[in-house]
Every structure is written in C-alpha cells, then in structure tokens.
Structure 1
Amino acid sequence: MDNGMIEPSYLRTMQSRLRRRVIFMVPKSPSTTPDGFHFNWGCCFTKSDNKKQLGYVFGSLHEEYLRDLTAKVSEIASIFQAERTLVMGYSMGGFGAFQLGSMAPDVFDVVVSVAGYGVGTLEPQGEMYDAPQPQAGERFEKFLQQVASRLSVVPVVLAMHSRKDSMSSFRDVNAIIRHVQEVSLKKGSENIVQLLEVPDEKADSDRGRKKKNKSGHHYFNYTLLDDTSDDFFWSKLQGFLRIAAPRLELQTVSFDSIARFGTSNTGKPVCAKCGPWWKARVEERDETSVRIPQSLWAGMSQRYSPY
C-alpha cells in the first residue's frame, strides 16, 4: 500500500473481520538496485522507462524476484500448515497481488486486488495516464495472455475498484477479471472470479483526505477496514472460502528440510508461543511432513532447495 508500511492496527482489524487465525507476511517492494532498476513489486523498469510515470507500461516482470518471494510464501504457509493462503494488496499492492498470483497460482487460494492495475493499459492516449497507443495496449494484451490467464488456476480471484478511480484504471481491471473468467470457462474451472464495484460516493471516502483531492482512488477504509467492509467484502470472502476448491496438489517433503525457518542464531524459535509446538514437530520429523507445491520446487533457487 503506497509503497510503504501498513499499520499493524490495520492487520488486526482485517484479521478480526476475517474471523480466522491469521499469519501475516508483509514484504516490502524492492528498493532501487545499484544498476538503476526500480521496482513496483515484480515489475522492474529504468528511469527512462518511467518517463511520465509509465514504468508500469514499459517495464517487465522480474521472474526471479517473483519466484523467490512466492517460494518464501509457500514455505511459511507450509510451516504453519495454513488451511488457506491469500495474497492481497491495494493500489501498487493490487498490481503486486496479480503478479504473485499468476507467478505461482498453485500457492494461493485467493488473490485480492484493490484499486490495482496491470502491465500496460487500454486507456486511450490523451486520457487518464496519457500512455502512448497502440504500444500500451499491446503490452496490456500481452499481460492478459501471459499473466492474467494463469490466474484462472486460483480458486478465488477478486478485484475491488471504483469507476471514478483516476489513478488506477477501472477499464483495465475489468478487462483482467473478464479475461480470467473467460479462460476459466474454457477450462471448465469452477473457480470464483468477481469484480466488486465500489460505489461512486465511496471513491474518495478515506478519512483525512482533502476534499479537493478527488482522484477516486481512496477507498481503502470502505473496502477493508470500516464496518462497511463486512458486507461489501469480508462476508463474501468468508462464503467463498467455505465453497472454494483447495489449492492444487502439493508435494510432501521432509519437515527437517525447512526446520531452519523461524529460529534465532541460538537455534531456538523466535516466537516463544511456537516453542513447544516447534520442538514437537522437529522430534517427529521422521514421521511428519509438510506440503510444498511441486511447481515451486522445480523453480526454486538453490537457497530454498531441500537437497
């Protein structure tokens, strides 16, 4: 969200709205590299690519970064034996949620993009982003075919967006959701793919925003935190989770291959509450296993390899 921290109180509120025990992983979008690459999550671009803030149009997806991050998500989900794994983000984070979900669709049960976008755009030149056409449209179509199509494997794909949003294109997100729906239909998939449209009067409803700033992009509280979010989003998500199919088949691997995670330099678990649980799991490692997606083991870098 906004390329910075998310308040811990926001996470507590979202956990209470979800009404489940939740392990939050809150990564940061990568910093600029010494060789001059900037990142919007997995979308990397140079300074020249980003003229008029169009890095998201002319950048490219950094597969190594996305592979490593989704591998770490999978590792953490397996350690905690997560019943469900979700990726969620707002604005640039919504862009990132689409990227992560498509990079490793068998890792996630749910992809939620709020006020997000994709690579390229369908917006006409001279409007909204003033991105050059047809180049921007061609990049967007490529994004649909190579990235959005893979989201059809995820059991639940949701987007929340306002038509009045002038910072992230409703047109583009609507096209992404429609494309995922079409691919899902062709595959005979029973996944849930929906666009939840934010009412116009709520497009600038976030507290603390100046009235003159009418970008239509400020509905974080309405969709995720306020009491309105229960009916608009969280109750629907809970219902979807009750009926959605589980993630794809996972490979069983020895628990001791990832037992290093979560320990301090003393070898003890970082979280005291997990101490007895962790000790019992390690003692039972000859009989206990965790499940990691097969496709991720094939693509993991050496530092994640159990061998």
Structure 2
Amino acid sequence: MKIVPLLALSAMTAVLAGCATAPPTTPKLDHSLVSRSQSDRIKFVIIHYTVADLPRSIKILTQDEVSAHYLLTDTEQPFFYTLVDESRQSNHAGLSSWKIYNQLNSASIGIEIVNPGFKDTPEGRVWYPFKPAQIDQLVVLLKDIVKRHDIKPDNILGHNDIAPQRKQDPGPLFPWKRLADEGLISWPEPSRVAARVPGYQEQLPDIAWFQRKLAQHGYAVPQNGELDQATRNVMVVFQSKYRQALFDGTPDAESAAILDVLTSPLPTLPPPATPATAPVVAQ
C-alpha cells in the first residue's frame, strides 16, 4: 500500500478547497426585464371613523390588534398620524368584500378619522358631524394617494360599503358629495335620477332587481328575492351614502333611480368626423 506523506496530503486538500465555489450569500438578480402584466398592489382606500376621542384612538390603533395607515385628528388644525407605511398591510378592513375582491386589507389603504360616531337617545340615534377642516385635510391626502396609486373613483369606499352587515362607519353625515365634487368618487347625475323617478313611482322593481343592482354596484348582498335583514342592511348603507336624508333600508322609487343611474353609465359617443377638405387644384 502506497502511503501519501502528510505534507503532500495537506497540499492536495488546499488545492481542492481553492477549486470549490463558495455558496452565494445574496441572490443574483437581473433587473433588465419588466413584465407588462402588473398593477399597483393598492387598489382601494377605505374610510373609517374611530368612535373614540384622540388619545383613545391613538392607543387603539397603535397598541391593539387593529391599525390604519393614517389617523386624522380632530384638533383645531387637523393633521395625520402616519401609523403604518403604505408599503405594509394595516389591519383595518376585517372580513370585507367589494365586487370581485375579498379580504381588502391586503389591497387597500385605511384612513381613520377621529369622530365619536353616534349615540343612541330616547329620540333615536344621533350622528356626529365631521369637522370641515378634517375633510379639507382628507381631500388633500386622497388626491395624493389617487395620483400615486391610480385609485379608481369606485374604489374609494367606506368601511360600511365593504362590510355592510357589521359596520356603520363613516356614517350618514360623512360628506361623500364633497368627495364627488372634488373629482374623487363617482356620483349619480341628479338630472338623470330625477328623470327616472316617475317611472319607478308608477312601478317599483321587485326585491330581486334591487339585489341584482346592489351587487352590480359592488355590494355583497343576498340574491334570494326577499327583503331580509341582510338586504335591508345593504340598502341602509347605500342610502346613507347617496340619499342621506332618508336611510331606513326600504326600497323606494328614488333609491331605484339612483341605483339605475349608478349602474348604467352614459354611452361613449364616437369622436366627431373630421371634415373633408377641398382638394387643391392647380390653376
């Protein structure tokens, strides 16, 4: 048997070790290609009220299991606390859905507004208004978010829109029309609504029609043709947004007209024809 001297064996080991490739410590990435099939992760903005004063709102949203990306104060000069970076998920929406989307936490920005919400009295439920200065600040932030993430007008929603069976916020005093006037959300054209009301006063659609239209608009609503409590809850949310003077959950002609307009976009007109130009004739 041939015995390899210890010195030679050590030299061979060193050579082999030098030939081995060290394992990578960072991934090798090539950023030269970009897929055309992609979109922003953030597709929705969800608006809430806190049902608490500012100190308690801060405690809840920073120390409890719920959170939001932004908290709008009710101070004399309102401002936003940025509690969660937009690149990260905040837990504000809970069990939720809108159109084809479910569990909206992962695809949304949550904005909490300090507001007591409501109180129940012997005369009925009393809702608290939002301070105009709060809404001024909110509009500025929303316009910034819309610009950065290309949020569609139909995707700026209330918590009650995406969870109508368990949530009321931001409630019937939230000024949705102000957001529409600022070009942030869609709004039913009053003249089109008024033109449809008489027809629906003559013959009100059945409950199945309302359920189909509410679902077409985006709500999760039963499709059983019955005016059950779940359907009433969705009607209350819809009316408290688009017809805030009366939101009792009863399907009526005005609600039908609003739904019809919202779910029947105006037809797109073809561009005007280019007028023919006379040929130039040499004299």
Q: Which has the larger radius of gyration?
A: 2
Does TM, normalized by the shorter one, top 0.5? no
Q: TM-score w.r.t. structure 1 length?
A: 0.27
